[in-house]
Structure 1
Amino acid sequence: MRTPSSYLQAATCGVVLSLLHAGAQASALPHDMSPLGMFIAADQVVKSVLIGLLIAALATWVVLLVKGASLLKARRDAAQAVAVLKQATCLADAAIKSGASLLAQGLLDDVQQELNLSHAHAPAPALKERAGFRQEQLIAHKVRNMTQGIGLLASIGAVAPFVGLFGTVWGIMNSFIGIAVSQSTNLATVAPGIAEALLATALGLVAAIPAVVIYNVLSRGINQYKAQLRAASAQVLLMLSRDLDTRKQA
């Protein structure tokens, strides 16, 4: 018959063995649980996903710097062109005053080229229509040039969360495979693999959220730039209509 002291000794031995087993498992775990340590400990698929998401996040900020600078410059030039054209009374006066505005010169040259190509006695409505068409083509060309590269942000914002989710699913699958192989359900054994897997989802959101925000900001800026171009074009067409009326009276 076992005495209470024997039960106490058996319980103590069981606790000691459990602590030794847990210590052996903990020693096999990676000690560095920082993002860099989890990246180094991840497998090749998760590493590839993380590297791709890092490149996407970097590309987002590069697009912001490059496209944002060009958009600010273009909007400043468009505002200057509108101010110059509003001060002019006719096409000849606008050509003199638009020396410092390349956009105003381009719009005026486009209309003047159409006047040179048209017949001297061409109807005024036909001249206005053709000049307006040329102005619309010029505006569309400038807007297309400004929107180049913006689609990359939309793609990153739409795809990055799913890429991060794929890395998470892959990492959790590997964690469960490790549980099945080691036949241990200890949380200390499972937690590092799950943390590495969730890092992919976190990085996917880090890449996607700024991309969506920057895309919306640049899209609004491009729409405002397009409105400025239309305002400058309207001033040119207004002066064209005024000159055609003057020519008709003469």
Structure 2
Amino acid sequence: METEALGMAQEIDFSLLALFARATFTVKLVMLGLMVMSFWSWAIIVRKHLMFRAARSEAAVFDAAFWSGEPLDELYERIGAEPQGSSEKIFAAGMLEWRRSHRQDGGLIAGAQARIDRAMNVAIARESEVLNKGLSFLATVGSTAPFIGLFGTIWGVKHSFEQIAISQNTNLATVAPGIAEALLATGIGLIAAIPAVVFYNKLNADSERILGGYEAFADEFATILSRQLDA
């Protein structure tokens, strides 16, 4: 009897496509949802990697120009009214407020330093929102995908036990396909969750380093303007 059951089990197709095709409608929905989450996570990972690399490159180019000794007014005029890079936007926000703080007679309006700092902080906050956009989705996938996959597994095991009860047959050929289909959902959940967690931590750390550079530049720029204000 056991030999016959083993022979029947060996004839069953256990490929991933076959397991997916034999799964119940609910488990299929779970698997498809996890696949979509995994695909979207990788799209965010690739896009953020390219974005952060461009941000670091742009910051390096701007820092070289800022510390080259070129007058700040000339640098601001060269950047123009619509700066492209994040560092340029922060610098332009500070310079714009610096110019607006001058009266027509050349004097400064009171509270210029605080307004300049606030303008650059607002610019940094905007860039932070752009850099961190999508990272919360990675965190969500990393924390929920295993449980979503586990739900699919539990549902699949439930269906398998129902089939066993209906057929009143507990041999390997009856039990194995349903259990394998159910476990596939947990496997897909882990495949979606593990890269999301790993790259969320990496990208979040990269984002903090980039924003730390922006904040350091804003402090240095504010110090330069403060000297001119005191003068």
Q: CA offset at residue 181 of structure 1?
A: 1.0
Q: CA offset at residue 91 of structure 1?
A: 2.8
What is the aligned partner in structure 1 of residue 41 from structure 2? 60
Match 2:152 to one of 167, 183, 189: 167
What is the aligned partner in structure 1 of residue 8 from structure 2? 26
Matched, 1:225 2:210: yes
- 1:233-248 counterparts in 2 under 5 A? 233-245=218-230, 248=231
What is the aligned partner in structure 1 of residue 120 from structure 2? 135
| Closer, same or farther: CA 87–163 of 1 in aligned 2, 3 Å | same
Match 2:191 to one of 182, 206, 214: 206
Decide whether the 8 Å contact of 1:139 with 1:229 is kept in 2: yes
Listed as ranges, the gaps of 5+ residues in structure 1 are 1-17
Q: How many percent of aligned residue pairs carry the same amino acid?
A: 36
Listed as ranges, the gaps of 5+ residues in structure 2 are none
Q: TM-score, normalised by structure 2?
A: 0.86
Q: CA offset at residue 119 of structure 1?
A: 4.7
Letter aligned with residue 17 of structure 2: L
- Distance in 2 separating the partners of 1:92 and 1:22: 84
Letter aligned with residue 41 of structure 2: T
Letter aligned with residue 206 of structure 1: I
* Range with bigger deviation, 34-43 or 81-90: 81-90
- Distance in 2 separating the partners of 1:232 and 1:87: 14
Q: CA offset at residue 97 of structure 1?
A: 8.0
Q: CA offset at residue 197 of structure 1?
A: 0.2
Decide whether the 8 Å contact of 1:168 with 1:200 is kept in 2: yes
What is the aligned partner in structure 2 of residue 73 from structure 1? 54
Decide whether the 8 Å contact of 1:91 with 1:108 is kept in 2: no
* Range with bigger deviation, 77-86 or 213-222: 77-86
What is the aligned partner in structure 2 of residue 197 from structure 1? 182
Aligned length: 226
Q: CA offset at residue 89 of structure 1?
A: 7.2
What is the aligned partner in structure 1 of residue 108 from structure 2? 122
- Distance in 2 separating the partners of 1:179 and 1:104: 65
Decide whether the 8 Å contact of 1:132 with 1:237 is kept in 2: yes
| Closer, same or farther: CA 115–170 of 1 in aligned 2, 3 Å | same
- Distance in 2 separating the partners of 1:159 and 1:19: 40
What is the aligned partner in structure 2 of residue 151 from structure 1? 136
- Distance in 1 separating the partners of 2:96 and 2:77: 17
- Distance in 2 separating the partners of 1:177 and 1:103: 59
- 1:106-121 counterparts in 2 under 5 A? 106-120=89-103, 121=107
**CA offset digits 1:119-141 (Å, max 9, x no partner):** 543377x2211111111110010
**CA offset digits 1:96-124 (Å, max 9, x no partner):** 78799844543343223223322543377
- Distance in 2 separating the partners of 1:227 and 1:19: 66
| Closer, same or farther: CA 168–214 of 1 in aligned 2, 3 Å | same
Decide whether the 8 Å contact of 1:169 with 1:197 is kept in 2: yes
What is the aligned partner in structure 2 of residue 38 from structure 1? 19
Structure with max Cα Rg: 1
Letter aligned with residue 220 of structure 1: A
* Range with bigger deviation, 188-197 or 109-118: 109-118
